[in-house]
Amino acid sequence: MQSSLCAVLNHTGSADAFSLEETPIKPLNANEILLKHTAIGVNFIDTYYREGLYDINLPCVLGDEAVGIIQQVGESVSEFSVGQRVAYPTSKGAYCSMRTISCDDIVSVPDTLDDLTVAASLMRGMTVEYLLCRLYQLKAGETVLIHAAAGGVGVIACQWAKAIGATVIGTVSSKLKADIARKNGCDYPIIYTEQNFYQEVLRITNGKKVDVVYDSVGKDTFEQSLDCLRPRGLMVSYGNASGKPDPLDVLSLSSRGSLFLTRPSLFHYTQDKEELRAGAEHYFSLLEKGVIKIDAGKPFPLTQVADAHRYLEDRNSLGTPVLIPS
């Protein structure tokens, strides 16, 4: 029986909680493929599971996205073939060298896109696709506030929103990150360590505020983000980098201007393979056209998964780390 090198989480905790183990690969079901990974994405949601912020059954293998080459196909698989390069953005168990996975969870990767770019950005790119194009259809002339505008999702969101024709305001932690955000389409980077982002939003918009806030930071930004919204504006809370937001008095949404609030997940926007593949194709098309540009993050061997997590959690680090199986 074949085996796979896996970074196994037996208990929650720090980045050192991972254990490297050789794990047997189960036989293929009819609708599954055997995939040999070439590059594995590392995302902030992985740290939430690792820390125990989100519930997960232990032991487990973390990671939701990767790129690889198909080694075998199940007997009922007809749309994919051995040797084909594919990827997936939302199927837990990616921190390994090889795995079986349902063919309903994978997408074809264009030959023009390299493994590091796809592994570093597919989940983030598809997150931006549903946030800007399906959860809310952002339109030219609207104004958005994007927190963590120099982060993995933020740089894609800024580029995509700018391409749509929106005015983009973003928050960052340093001048260097302000330059990165501006380079990626952010019209007004706000250095939140030096400026009050709410006051800056009022100044930039002449008191009109913004149509949508995209907030992946959570606790540190949530309350003031609500105050940045125009009447009937939309608050999209999709991450908890600074911790879970404090409990909200729902009546405050009314007093602040009949605001809308949602806490979405990419999983719920890719639940069938048609949605999954349409979202991926939309994102890939913008990569191929150069509308979205990705600086692939620092590569780490799979055996150094703890270092990759520490790199991701260091807010002074730039780029998205990628795990490379040996």
User: How distant, in Å, are the alpha carbons of 216, 223, 227, 292 from that of 43?
Assistant: 12, 25, 28, 19
The letter for the amino acid at 151 is: G
| Residue 214 main-chain phi, psi, to 5 deg | -110, 110
User: For residue 138, how many C-alpha atoms fall within 13 Å in the half-sphere facing its CB?
Assistant: 29
Report the distance separating Cα 137 and Cα 150, nearest Å: 22
Report the distance separating Cα 124 and Cα 159, nearest Å: 13
Q: Is the pTM of this model over 0.85?
A: yes
Q: How many CB atoms lie within 10 A of CB 130?
A: 21
**Which mean pLDDT values do the consecutive 10-residue runs of the chain (326 residues) have?**
94 96 95 98 91 92 97 96 97 97 97 95 96 98 97 95 98 95 98 97 98 95 97 94 87 96 94 94 97 90 97 77 92
Q: Which two tokens stand for residue 19?
A: 């254990």
Q: At what angle do helices 152-164 and 115-130 cross, to 10 degrees?
A: 60
Q: What angle do CA 115, 121, 123 make, to 5 degrees?
A: 115
Q: Which two tokens stand for residue 165?
A: 């024709």
Output the pLDDT for position 241: 77
Quote the DSSP letter at residue 304. G
Report the distance separating Cα 277 and Cα 201, nearest Å: 36
Report the distance separating Cα 71 and Cα 100, nearest Å: 10
Q: Which two tokens stand for residue 282?
A: 């939309």
List the domains of the chain with CATH numbers. 3-121+277-324 (3.90.180.10), 140-263 (3.40.50.720)
Q: Which two tokens stand for residue 215?
A: 């907030």
Q: Which residues contact 247 (CB under 8 A, 6 or more apart)?
A: none
Q: Which residues contact 276 (CB under 8 A, 6 or more apart)?
A: 89, 90, 104, 105, 107, 270
Nearest partner of 235 among 208, 253, 254, judged by Cα: 253
